């Protein structure tokens, strides 16, 4: 309506490019527009059905009447960044480890994109630090079941200050002001959630994300993070199975040997009873007793799994030796209710380090 006749075709083509871009990425245009407003215009409450009226009321802020082409260019640039973020890439389309991780974690959730849109001007060096902080915080919100409306509004409010960040100190100040206090508030709930976590309380893809992160963290501590190991996809793919140490279809012998047979189903699905295992090794492990399974686990390239069957030993005071000692990666002699609880506590404590949660005093 506000475009000059000679510019109309140009505007129409840009708008089509914008809409096609979002649809090809299976993203909802209205959600993008809503998050764009949150990120760029200091708004923290707006329903999708109010978007059109908001633009009508705020034409001076958006300046789309005077400069419609410039306005659509801004929208198109934001949409390209938005799609890149969903694909696990930065603004330039380069892979970003933490954004890729958010893809494994978020599912259909998109609230984190509000802050990412607000930070699309930040240089790559500090942008990566922000992405790591955002992945950790987003996971803390998910695992503690924080209402999405609450942290969506929080992210919209934080966007105002994030847009001003342009150097490492400013980013550190932002993190100290917003991210760290939020994590401190969640710390006790985070610890409890991990210590009680089971497959019935979380979607499977998120359980796989958790085990992948824990497994990757231990491997990187021991071997470094170069090559494919730096990608969470190394730990989440069709060749890596979610292994139940107490088998899902137990034999009578397995049931008889478990010390709490009436609570077998409960212990079966606990985080402490789960590990990642390569498909070929998983098939050989089968539904056997733990004593037989240990031999299969000891062949895994994942130290967190390997240590169930044997103590990883390479030399004297190597990185692997230090990791084994630091995280008590000792093999279990038996597999019963007590050891499952013990391993769950160990994984919960490890999780606090992996996701950078403050220690409860």
Instruction: Locate 112 and state its tokens.
Output: 């984190």
Instruction: Locate 2 and state its tokens.
Output: 């506000």
The model's confidence at residue 91, banded by pLDDT at 50, 70 and 90, is very high
pLDDT exceeds cutoff 80 at 46: yes
Average of per-residue pLDDT across 68-90: 96
Average of per-residue pLDDT across 70-79: 95
pLDDT exceeds cutoff 80 at 224: yes
DSSP β-bridge partners for residue 275: 243
pLDDT exceeds cutoff 90 at 318: no
Residue 284: the pLDDT is 73
Average of per-residue pLDDT across 250-271: 95
Average of per-residue pLDDT across 213-239: 89
The model's confidence at residue 228, banded by pLDDT at 50, 70 and 90, is low
Q: Give the residue among 119, 114, 87, 115 at the shortest CA–CA distance from 103.
A: 87
pLDDT digits (tens, 9 = 90+) for 174-197: 999 999 999 999 999 999 999 999
Instruction: Locate 36 and state its tokens.
Output: 């764009």
Residue 314: the pLDDT is 67
Give the other-Cβ count within 10 Å of 142's Cβ: 21
Domain ranges of the chain: 5-195, 199-354
pLDDT digits (tens, 9 = 90+) for 116-140: 999 999 998 899 999 999 999 999 9
The model's confidence at residue 315, banded by pLDDT at 50, 70 and 90, is low
Lowest mean pLDDT among 72-81, 263-272, 317-326: 317-326
Residue 226: the pLDDT is 67
Mean pLDDT (the chain, rounded): 94
Residue 225: the pLDDT is 77
Torsion of CA 350, 353, 356, 361, to 10 degrees: 90
């Amino acid at each position: 309506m506000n475009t000059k006749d000679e510019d109309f075709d140009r505007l129409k083509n840009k708008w089509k490019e914008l809409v096609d871009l979002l649809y090809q990425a299976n993203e909802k245009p209205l959600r993008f527009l809503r998050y764009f407003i949150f990120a760029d215009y200091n708004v923290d409450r707006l329903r999708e059905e109010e978007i059109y009226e908001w633009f009508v009321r705020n034409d001076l802020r958006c300046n789309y009447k005077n400069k419609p082409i410039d306005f659509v260019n801004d929208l198109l640039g934001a949409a390209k960044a938005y799609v890149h973020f969903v694909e696990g890439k930065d603004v330039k389309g380069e892979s970003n480890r933490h954004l890729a991780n958010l893809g494994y974690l978020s599912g259909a959730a998109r609230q984190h994109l509000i802050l990412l849109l607000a930070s699309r001007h930040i240089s790559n060096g500090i942008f990566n630090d922000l992405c790591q902080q955002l992945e950790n915080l987003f996971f803390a919100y998910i695992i503690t079941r924080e209402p999405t409306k609450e942290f969506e509004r929080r992210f919209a409010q934080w966007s105002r200050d994030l847009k001003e960040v342009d150097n490492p100190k400013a980013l550190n100040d932002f993190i100290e002001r917003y991210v760290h206090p939020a994590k401190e508030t969640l710390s006790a709930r985070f610890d409890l959630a991990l210590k009680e976590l089971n497959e019935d309380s979380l979607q499977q893809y998120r359980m796989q994300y958790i085990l992948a992160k824990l497994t990757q963290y231990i491997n990187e501590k021991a071997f470094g993070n170069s090559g494919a190991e730096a990608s969470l996809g190394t730990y989440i793919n069709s060749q890596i199975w979610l292994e139940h140490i107490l088998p899902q279809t137990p034999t009578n012998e397995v049931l008889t040997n478990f010390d709490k047979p009436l609570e077998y189903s409960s212990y079966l699905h606990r985080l402490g009873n789960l590990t990642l295992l390569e498909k070929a090794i998983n098939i050989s492990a089968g539904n056997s007793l733990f004593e037989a399974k240990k031999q299969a686990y000891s062949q895994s390239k994942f130290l967190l799994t390997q240590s169930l069957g044997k103590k990883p030993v390479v030399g004297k005071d190597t990185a692997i030796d230090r990791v084994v000692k630091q995280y008590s990666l000792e093999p279990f002699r038996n597999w019963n209710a007590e050891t499952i609880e013990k391993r769950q506590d160990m994984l919960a404590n490890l999780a606090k380090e992996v996701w950078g949660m403050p220690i409860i005093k």
